Structure 1
């Protein structure tokens, strides 16, 4: 009788945790494998914000056993239906239970005002994912890892600095968003330019306060998209991002490419990745594309982090290729890395 009661309680918990949300998006940038089950889930982070996520598992996964799990965050400005889902779909076929989430204030996740970007909240969202995965009955909570794509690479590593439950971290095309916002891409921002930006944002706060809302720029990738081709005249980096976010390849209506103007203040004031050495002895895998403009972020992390660590270069790949190119993303490498370390 006691065993039957415990099974019933576990089943009720699972229904509560894994219940499909009526308003969850069914628009994805990739095709779900017929070997994988995807379930819409909702849970709270420690700020009581509701996080929207998708849980992926193989259809033939034995739910009576415990399995390793991964939490995956999107590129900066991206959503779960894009790159994180691509990774989750592939890794679920390799035996992992995988959670792909929308960051606080963005996508289908809760939080007001909308489109806020925050180093604290975006790092917290990884730990909140670990909170959730640890309550799934068929997940081994002692075998949870994290993957961060682009901006989430910096957030996942920063979460792992203090959250010992994250047993291993892999990043793909990592961006350090705090460094990017403070110093510009390629460290090109001058002190004078930074001062002007901060002066403008400081004045913007009065405007926001007086008008009862926060300023958000016009979406970079709006609902008039997807475009049939990348606009002419863009610099190479912008063209690369447009090729993904603004065309049918990666366009999603919840991924607009901008945040509130005042969000920059926090990133300029509170840098990420300040205690990388604390991740050791848990391992780090940094995946970069041979032709990626963002490689210096991962190279800096590799120099600063303690062992065990690895910098893995994907031949012929650019930055955005590691969002969705399943022919280039090294899933065999990821599978081996996590199965050996979590």
Structure 2
């Protein structure tokens, strides 16, 4: 299977992406395409590309897995910025790139997002009507996660404001890691929930570790996330065919409950919630059995609505 490194523009910086080609690709033909979005703090070389992107390409789709602006190999400064407006704009810029390729069928473009990339996928698809089919795997709202962190969102915003003032006066920019380096460190800090512990096993071990999967964010520029609701207005604006896949082992990231909420509220006439029994949030990133189960649902879904 062929993979090509490409770039496309978001405002005045380059967004880096990997374009996965189907087997026996023929540039004289037209192909359906899927934009694949990575989790929060992740990168295109992890689950969105090397697992789902590769498998969807092998199923006959062109797949564009991209690094979010300000992250990975993509451009933009401030580095490690996690801004929901820019994250959703990346999706439209990805489509802008795809429609310039002669071998892409512009009427058959879909989107897939994993974890936080899933919540951004939902938000982007509300506005981006060139997406004709929408899929998510263990989607979780980054806004809700920030608000529920200590259940003191206003106090959190006050603290972020003080940090931004300090940085405006010359203090070093505060960049935080979302996870501990080891499970032992996390447990000593009192963390017992399955999601943050399994995040360490994925991001901090050879299982899923990649140089650009940093899990870093700029603290003073995070109020936009505290205020963010990717599912706002989905009753009215999210109308494309929709497939939402979650595991049934719930953790604090909330993908299980988000899955039910998205499908219950979405305005899509064709929508399906797939609950994979016995699997957790991070199992769906890369473990062969649950990812195959997810792909066995996603591939027919995309083939039905993208052709």
Question: Scaled by the length of structure 2, what TM-score is found?
Answer: 0.91
Structure 2 stretches lacking a partner, 5+ long: none
1:112 and 2:77 equivalent?
A: yes
Q: Hey, what does 2:300 align to over in structure 1?
A: 336
CA contact (8 A) 1:173 1:292 kept: no
Which of 271, 285, 288 is the matching residue for 2:243?
285
What is the aligned partner in structure 2 of residue 321 from structure 1? 283
In the alignment, the residues of structure 2 paired with residue 251 and residue 71 of structure 1 have an alpha-carbon distance, to the nearest angstrom, of: 22
Partner of 1:296: 257
Provide the rounded CA distance (Å) in 2 between the counterparts of 1:211 and 1:252.
32
1:232 Cα deviation from its structure 2 partner:
6.6
**Can you give the 5+ residue segments of structure 1 that lack an aligned partner in the other structure?**
1-35
Taking only aligned residues, the RMSD between alpha carbons, in angstroms, comes to 1.8
Which residue is 2:230 aligned to?
272
Q: Are the counterparts in 2 of residues 230 and 239 from structure 1 also a CA contact under 8 Å?
A: no
Flag the structure with larger Rg. Answer: 1
Matched ranges for 1:1-342 at <5 A: 36-45=1-10, 47-85=11-49, 86-184=51-149, 189-190=150-151, 193-211=152-170, 214-217=173-176, 220=179, 233=187, 234-235=191-192, 236-293=194-251, 294-306=255-267, 307-329=269-291, 330-342=294-306
Structure 1 distance, partners of 2:127, 2:112, is 16
| 1:316 Cα deviation from its structure 2 partner | 1.9
Q: How many residues are matched?
A: 295
**Equivalent position SS for 1:161:** helix
Whole-Å separation in 2 of the counterparts to 1:326 and 1:66: 30
Per-residue displacement from partner, 1:180-221 (whole Å, max 9, x unpaired)?
11233xxxx43xx22221121110011111117532125747
1:278 deviates by: 3.6
Secondary structure of 1:262 counterpart: helix
Aligned-residue offset at 1:331: 1.2
Task: Please give the alpha-carbon distance, in whole angstroms, between the structure 1 residues aligned to 2:200 and 2:78.
Answer: 26
CA 1:171–1:269 in structure 2 vs 1: closer, same or farther (change >3 Å)? same
Change (3 A) 1:298 1:109: same
* 2:283–2:290 Cα contact (<8 Å) kept: yes
C-alpha spacing 1:125/1:213, structure 2 compared with 1 (3 Å): farther
Q: 1:279–1:327: structure 2 CA closer, same or farther, 3 Å change rule?
A: farther
The structure richer in strand per residue is: 2
Query: Is the 2:46–2:213 Cα contact (8 Å) retained in structure 1?
Result: no
Instruction: Return the offset for 1:249.
Output: 0.5
Cα deviation per residue 1:35-61 (whole Å; 9 max; x = unaligned)? x1110001102x222100000012412
